[in-house]
Amino acid sequence: MQNEAREAWMDWLRDAHAMESQAETMLNAQIGRLENYPALRMRLEQHLRETEVQRQSLERLFESLGEDASGIKAGMGKLMALGQGFAGAFASDEVMKGSLASYTFEHMEIASYTALIAGAEELGMAEAVAVLTPILEQERAMAAWLAENLPPLTRSFLARAEADLEAKR
Ligand code: MG
Ligand code: FE
């Protein structure tokens, strides 16, 4: 029973790793396309650096739990296809579509790490709790930043559009 529970939890950890790989792809695509929104771009760049470290932390955790790291990377292909850019990349309001997608993505990450941490506590995996808790905090901070900055970003988008400046990205 304990083994089955642990296996379920390890699957969630693999999913979290695939999610972070997808986050890297998405963030890279958004950063590469943004031109007129420097505050958003800087925050996305900061979160991209955090995301790379998160992915590496998950890989180290996976290995320290006695799992073969090639297993965690095997799951990457599955979500990789979804991470090719993001759905709104060619919309005329791409910066808005991207921000909504980021807001959604951060909340999926918050949910994933909340479940992983609760599971690790239940299964007595203190080391995993210690690794995952600071990651959850970074996802919460990113989600909070997006929530706070969505109204000014929206105003900035509309002001640029009204002034016939490029607003799209
Ligand atoms: Mg993340
Ligand atoms: Fe994130």
Say if residue 118 is exposed, middle or buried (CB neighbours under 10 Å; 0-12, 13-18, 19+).
exposed
pTM over 0.85: yes
pLDDT digits (tens, 9 = 90+) for 65-77: 988 877 777 665 5
Label residues 66-99 b or e (16+ Cβ within 10 Å = b).
eeeeeebeebbeebeeebebbebbeeebbbbbbb
The CA 81 to ligand 2 mean position distance, Å, reads 18
Residue 1, pLDDT > 70, answer no
Per-residue pLDDT tens over the stretch 100-116: 999 999 999 999 999 99
Residues in the chain: 169
Share of the chain above pLDDT 70, in %: 89
Please determine, for residue 81, whether its predicted confidence score (pLDDT) is greater than 50.
no
How far, in Å, is the centroid of ligand 1 from the Cα of 7?
22
120 CA → ligand 2 middle, Å: 20
Q: Measured between alpha carbons, how far is 143 from 113 in angstroms, rounded to an integer?
A: 14
**H helix intervals, 65-93:** 69-74, 76-80
Report helix, strand or coil for 58: helix
Q: Is 25 strand, coil or helix?
A: helix
Kindly give the distance from the C-alpha atom of residue 62 to the centroid of ligand 2, in angstroms, as a whole number.
Answer: 19
| Tens digit of each residue's pLDDT (9 = 90 or more) over 23-69 | 999 999 999 999 999 999 999 999 999 999 999 999 999 999 988 87
Q: Answer yes or no: is pLDDT of 89 > 90.
A: no
Per-residue pLDDT at 85: 54
Give the type of residue at 139: E
Tell me if 52 sits within 8 A of 22, measured CB to CB.
Answer: no
Ligand nearest to the CA of 53: 1
